[in-house]
């Protein structure tokens, strides 16, 4: 299959016009200008980008990953795929030990079957002071035996674990997690600057939704945000849904860290794609009003109702760069960087790569999604 488009971003360069040839689930060739033969699909005035990679998402389309039920997982994954997410890591919130084992065991089968690309444990080893939409009564210090049980149940499918560095035993836990080939992230934390630096030295390489559920910056105690921003080994997640971070913060972080360290995430819950109403995130009730999710009866934000195409458009609109520069940066942040940060297969449109791509119209709305060489959403050609 040979496709042409007026604009094609590979993740490495911008081609205008561009073409891409696909055989099975792989990309055979990519080029600029006239294609080597008559195209099978002339997409016209669209922008083609690599498939989006969401490494922090709890559900969507009315269902949660925490149920660990195949039907619920399939519903959420199918919903996000139609919005351009071709690689998805399922996030789990804080749960009791037996519940966590059940969830991980169920989702591990979904990873092995190719439905998911991994599991992210956002808890239970977090700070009760910065619990956000997690159940504080279930939070606990990291226990080596529990970590081993969970990772053994996951059988290599856990990609990332978020931990608060100030918890007793946290640094040893980070080392243990990293030694098992899992990415350690810092988040939901009241840690000091020095405690965060110690976590990075122990092997933590991701900041879980930077700024949110974190001790804020103070003039005499810079806290975790500054420690995470200033270390080049750390990839920082940002929830660019227009609710969690101000556009000015997004611009500042993108400029100060450079092109390779920002990872856009949705942190989406089951309410993504649904109407306002009452939902659940783990055991907590969540109220959604005007598409903003909050823990019921509070003002605490509880994840988002966004999709990756929304996050991508936010990034392009608020980057402060010209259109082409904004598109190039957003592709790296929505696809290349998150995949690299979690050790997923390299994304991007290049010969030999997986045939995952998204077709966007002039307003950057999704009109086509190709995953592993098959159309999830077929564009008009």
- DSSP states of 244-280 as a string? SS-HHHHHHHHHHH-TTSEEEE--B-TTTTS-SEEEE
Same domain, 368 and 333: no
Number of C-beta neighbours around residue 293 at 10 A: 28
The tally of domains found in the chain comes to 2
CA separation for the pair 256, 260 (Å, rounded) = 11
Residue-level pLDDT at 282: 87
267 catalytic per annotation: yes
Q: What is the pLDDT of residues 329-339, one digit of tens each?
A: 999 999 999 99
Same domain, 254 and 316: yes
Question: 160 with 329: CB under 8 angstroms?
Answer: no
- DSSP states of 288-355 as a string? EETTEEEETTS--B-SB---HHHHHHHHHHHS-S-HHHHHHHHHIIIIIHHHHHTTPPPPSS-TTSB-
Question: Using 50, 70 and 90 to split pLDDT, how confident is the model at 191?
Answer: very high
Binding-site residue ranges for Zn(2+): 122, 188, 209
Helix intervals (H) in the chain: 70-81, 97-112, 144-154, 170-179, 193-202, 223-230, 247-257, 308-318, 323-331, 337-341
Binding-site residue ranges for substrate: 133, 212-213, 220, 244, 301-303
Residues of the chain above pLDDT 70, percent = 100
Residue-level pLDDT at 117: 98
Q: What is the pLDDT of residues 79-116, one digit of tens each?
A: 999 999 999 999 999 999 999 999 999 999 999 999 99
Which distant-in-sequence residues (6+ apart) come within 8 Å of 275 by Cβ?
Answer: none
pTM assigned to the model: 0.97
Choosing from 72, 110, 117, 267, the catalytic residue is 267
Same domain, 8 and 56: no
The range of the structural domain enclosing residue 8 comes to: 2-49+348-377
Two structure tokens written together for 367: 């009109």
Q: Does 153 score more than 90 pLDDT?
A: yes
Same domain, 361 and 292: no
The predicted model gives 6-13 an average pLDDT of 96
Same domain, 44 and 77: no
Same domain, 326 and 357: no
Same domain, 230 and 280: yes
Binding-site residue ranges: 122, 133, 188, 209, 212-213, 220, 244, 301-303
Which distant-in-sequence residues (6+ apart) come within 8 Å of 318 by Cβ?
Answer: 240, 247, 250, 251
The predicted model gives 335-351 an average pLDDT of 97
Q: Which of 26-52 are b and which e, b meaning 16 or more Cβ less than 10 Å from the residue's Cβ?
A: ebeebbeeebeeebebebeebbbbbbb
Question: Using 50, 70 and 90 to split pLDDT, how confident is the model at 283?
Answer: confident
The CATH code of the domain that includes 179 is 3.20.20.140
């Amino acid at each position: 299959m040979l496709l042409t488009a007026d604009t094609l971003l590979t993740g490495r360069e911008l081609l205008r016009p561009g073409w891409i040839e696909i055989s099975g689930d792989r990309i055979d060739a990519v080029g600029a200008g006239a294609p080597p033969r008559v195209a099978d699909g002339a997409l016209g005035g669209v922008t083609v980008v690599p498939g989006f990679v969401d490494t922090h998402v709890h559900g969507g389309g009315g269902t949660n990953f925490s149920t660990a039920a195949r039907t619920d997982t399939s519903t959420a994954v199918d919903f996000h795929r139609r919005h351009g997410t071709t690689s998805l890591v399922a996030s789990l919130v804080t749960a009791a030990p037996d519940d966590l084992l059940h969830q991980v065991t169920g989702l591990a089968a979904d990873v092995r079957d190719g439905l998911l690309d991994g599991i992210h444990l956002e808890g239970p080893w977090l700070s009760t002071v910065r619990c956000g939409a997690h159940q504080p009564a279930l939070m606990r210090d990291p226990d080596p035996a529990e970590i081993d049980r969970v990772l053994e149940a996951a059988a290599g499918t856990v990609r990332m674990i978020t931990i608060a560095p100030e918890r007793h035993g946290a640094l040893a836990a980070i080392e243990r997690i990293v030694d098992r080939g899992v990415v350690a992230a810092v988040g939901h934390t009241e840690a000091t600057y020095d405690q965060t630096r110690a976590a990075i030295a122990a092997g933590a390489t991701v900041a879980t939704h930077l700024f949110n559920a974190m001790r804020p910056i103070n003039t005499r105690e810079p806290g975790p945000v500054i420690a995470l921003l200033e270390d080049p080994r750390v990839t920082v997640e940002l929830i660019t849904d227009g609710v969690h971070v101000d556009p000015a913060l997004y611009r500042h972080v993108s400029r100060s860290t450079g092109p390779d360290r920002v990872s856009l995430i949705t942190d989406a819950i089951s309410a993504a794609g649904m109407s306002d109403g009452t939902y659940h995130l783990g055991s907590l009730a969540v109220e959604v009003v005007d598409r903003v999710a909050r823990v019921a009866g509070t003002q605490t934000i509880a994840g988002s109702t966004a999709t990756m195409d929304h996050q991508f458009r936010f990034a392009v609109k608020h980057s402060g760069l010209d259109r082409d520069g904004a598109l190039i940066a957003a592709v790296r942040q929505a696809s290349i960087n998150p995949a690299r940060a979690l050790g997923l297969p390299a994304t991007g449109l290049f010969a030999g790569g997986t045939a995952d791509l998204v077709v966007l119209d002039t307003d950057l709305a999704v009109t086509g999604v190709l995953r592993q060489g098959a159309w999830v959403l077929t564009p008009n050609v």
